[in-house]
């Protein structure tokens, strides 16, 4: 077994970010949302699903929200069972396979007539991705020492940004210049990119799975492990209620995550539909965000070493709030719109990975030092994030339904960041988090 804090183990863990982040960029942020909007834009964006007419953006938001709700309901139970049995890696592998297979199935989503394929496998891919991250994140306190965790968490996001930009660049060359690859059918290039994401995710994940340990604490579960696992979950819930700093952090994380995850999931739709950005300009904006994100994740992890996690998180949250208010002020008729969007993309990129990386490592540092139930504890971190996304998607769907726009919703998100900042101010100083 590789040693905790060792370079080989840390790199193997971080490499799963390289594997899975292509889902975040290509499927959640860049190619798929644009593809979905283009193939469902007829009839003023009205689509038919489950016997009901939906506005296409609303249906997409609700589908994602439903997937996050499923993860929020399942992950605490599955995590407690994984902790009790010592089988964290097996659960992570299962959801990785589910997610990558579902992404590959999006190849068969060709238009409104196959909308059910797009919606069903969007939900399953999202469940696979986010549920696998519950168990992946739970490895952080087991593979890195407390003083390493900020930089190790940041390393994962940096690997993810680099890997996803490489694949996105190739996918975009196919989507924008399909003739170079001998592709003539209109949607084929985008659909091939979905298959490539599936292969990349599942293929590179094997490097991580080969080296990550399983059953670190040598658990020997009894036959009624499901019942015992659920009982262990009740104990963790009781423990969390007694830990003031952990409770305050989870509340703050919930509030500002509504903003972070909503921007990640809906920014491309806002830029394309509300600001009429061309696809090429939108892609450049996303690439700017990703490339600046590498610098941001590294820089803020170093800053946290100097001034502490909480102060650094508050700085990133302030920048997020400013970005939301700036995004609301953008006007599609503005002659300088494109340069402003690029500048906003760079500003978002600076804090995009930083806030997620620091949130993960801060939570890890707040866990009891003697606990062996890392997956169960991290399931509450994950549930908090997923419920925040459900709230964000429902709210965005309501706003889009009434205004046929996400512009007002972007302004509302700025308020959530301000709320998260205020709640973080109630955090006490602890041994590893200041």
For the segment 350-391, what is each residue's pLDDT rounded down to a tens digit? 998 889 889 988 988 888 776 656 767 777 888 888 888 888
> Does residue 293 register a pLDDT over 90?
no
The answer for residues whose C-beta is within 8 angstroms of residue 205's C-beta and 6 or more apart is 16, 19, 20, 93, 96, 100
pLDDT of residue 428: 67
More confident residue, 282 or 327: 327
> Does residue 102 register a pLDDT over 90?
yes
User: What's the whole-number mean pLDDT along residues 429-433?
Assistant: 54
Of 77, 73, 74, 87, nearest in space to 229 by CA: 77
pTM of the model: 0.81
Q: Write the DSSP assignment of 173-237 as a string of letters.
A: HHHH-GGGGT--STTHHHHHHHHHHHHHHHHHHHHHHHHS-S-TT-----TTHHHHHHHHHHHHH
Q: What percent of the chain has pLDDT over 90?
A: 36
Query: Distance between the two ends of the chain, CA-based, in angstroms?
Result: 33
> Does residue 255 register a pLDDT over 60?
yes
Q: Write the DSSP assignment of 8-56 as a string of letters.
A: HHHHHHHHHHHHHHHIIIIIIISHHHHHHHHHT-TGGGEEEETTEEEEH
Binned at pLDDT 50, 70 and 90, residue 433 comes out as: low
User: What's the whole-number mean pLDDT along residues 404-430?
Assistant: 88
User: Highest-confidence range of 9-13, 64-68, 330-334, by mean pLDDT?
Assistant: 9-13
Binned at pLDDT 50, 70 and 90, residue 234 comes out as: low
Binned at pLDDT 50, 70 and 90, residue 209 comes out as: very high
User: What's the whole-number mean pLDDT along residues 30-55?
Assistant: 85
User: What's the whole-number mean pLDDT along residues 90-100?
Assistant: 95
pLDDT of residue 235: 67
pLDDT of residue 121: 96
Computed from CA positions of residues 422, 62, 273, 122, in that sequence, does the dihedral angle turn out positive or negative?
Answer: positive
Within a 10 A sphere around the Cβ of 179, how many other Cβ atoms? 8
Q: What percent of the chain has pLDDT over 70?
A: 91
The answer for residues whose C-beta is within 8 angstroms of residue 10's C-beta and 6 or more apart is 143, 144, 148, 152, 155
Binned at pLDDT 50, 70 and 90, residue 276 comes out as: confident
pLDDT tens digits for range 358-367: 998 898 888 8
pLDDT of residue 346: 93
User: What's the whole-number mean pLDDT along residues 249-270?
Assistant: 88
Asked if 157 and 289 count as a contact pair (C-beta separation under 8 A), the reply is no
Structure tokens at 423: 């709640």
Asked if 61 and 40 count as a contact pair (C-beta separation under 8 A), the reply is no
Instruction: For domain 7-424, give the CATH number.
Output: 1.20.1250.20
Burial status of residue 326 (CB atoms within 10 A of its CB: 0-12, 13-18, 19 or more): middle
Burial 46-56 (b: 16+ CB within 10 A, else e): ebebeeeebbb
pLDDT of residue 222: 53
pLDDT tens digits for range 306-332: 888 899 999 999 999 999 999 999 988
> Does residue 141 register a pLDDT over 90?
no
Span of 35-44, 168-177, 234-243 with lowest mean pLDDT: 234-243
Mean pLDDT of the chain: 86
More confident residue, 4 or 188: 188
Burial 181-210 (b: 16+ CB within 10 A, else e): eebeeebbbbbbbbebbbebbbebbeebbe
> Does residue 177 register a pLDDT over 80?
yes
Facing residues of 55 across strands? 46
Of 388, 408, 390, 411, nearest in space to 399 by CA: 408
């Amino acid at each position: 077994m590789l040693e905790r804090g060792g370079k080989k183990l840390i790199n193997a863990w971080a490499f799963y970010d390289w594997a899975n982040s292509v889902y975040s960029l290509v499927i959640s942020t860049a190619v798929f949302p644009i593809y979905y909007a283009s193939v469902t834009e007829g009839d003023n964006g009205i689509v038919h699903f489950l016997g009901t007419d939906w506005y296409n953006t609303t249906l997409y938001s609700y589908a994602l929200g439903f997937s996050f709700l499923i993860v929020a309901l399942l992950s605490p139970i599955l995590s407690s069972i994984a902790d009790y049995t010592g089988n964290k890696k097996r659960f992570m592998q299962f959801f990785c396979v589910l997610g990558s297979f579902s992404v590959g199935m999006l190849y068969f989503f060709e238009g409104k007539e196959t909308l059910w394929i797009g919606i069903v496998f969007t939900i399953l891919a999202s469940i696979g991705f986010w549920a696998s991250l519950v168990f992946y994140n739970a490895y952080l306190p087991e593979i890195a020492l407390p003083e390493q965790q900020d930089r190790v968490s940041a390393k994962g996001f940096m690997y993810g940004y680099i890997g996803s930009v490489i694949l996105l660049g190739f996918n975009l060359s196919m989507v924008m210049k399909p003739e170079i690859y001998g592709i003539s059918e209109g949607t084929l290039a985008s659909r091939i990119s979905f298959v490539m994401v599936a292969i990349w995710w599942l293929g590179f994940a094997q490097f991580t799975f080969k080296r990550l340990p399983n059953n670190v604490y040598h658990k020997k579960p009894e036959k009624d492990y499901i019942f015992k696992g659920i009982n262990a979950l009740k104990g963790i819930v009781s423990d969390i209620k007694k830990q003031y700093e952990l409770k305050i952090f989870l509340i703050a994380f919930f509030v500002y995550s509504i903003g972070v995850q909503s921007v990640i999931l809906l920014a491309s739709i806002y830029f394309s539909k509300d600001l009429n950005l061309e696809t090429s300009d939108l892609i450049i904006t996303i690439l700017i965000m990703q490339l600046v994100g590498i610098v941001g994740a590294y820089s803020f992890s170093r800053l946290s070493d100097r001034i502490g996690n909480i102060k650094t998180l508050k700085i990133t949250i302030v920048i997020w709030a400013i970005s939301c208010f700036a995004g609301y002020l953008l006007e599609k008729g503005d002659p300088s719109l494109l340069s402003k969007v690029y500048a906003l993309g760079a500003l978002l990129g600076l804090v995009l990975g930083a806030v997620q990386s620091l949130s993960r490592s801060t939570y890890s540092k707040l866990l009891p030092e003697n606990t062996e139930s890392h997956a169960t504890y991290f399931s509450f971190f994950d549930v908090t994030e997923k419920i925040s996304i459900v709230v964000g998607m429902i709210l965005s769907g309501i706003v889009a339904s009434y205004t046929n726009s996400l512009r007002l919703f972007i302004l509302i998100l700025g308020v959530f960041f301000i709320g998260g900042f205020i709640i973080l101010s109630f955090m006490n100083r602890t041994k590893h988090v200041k």
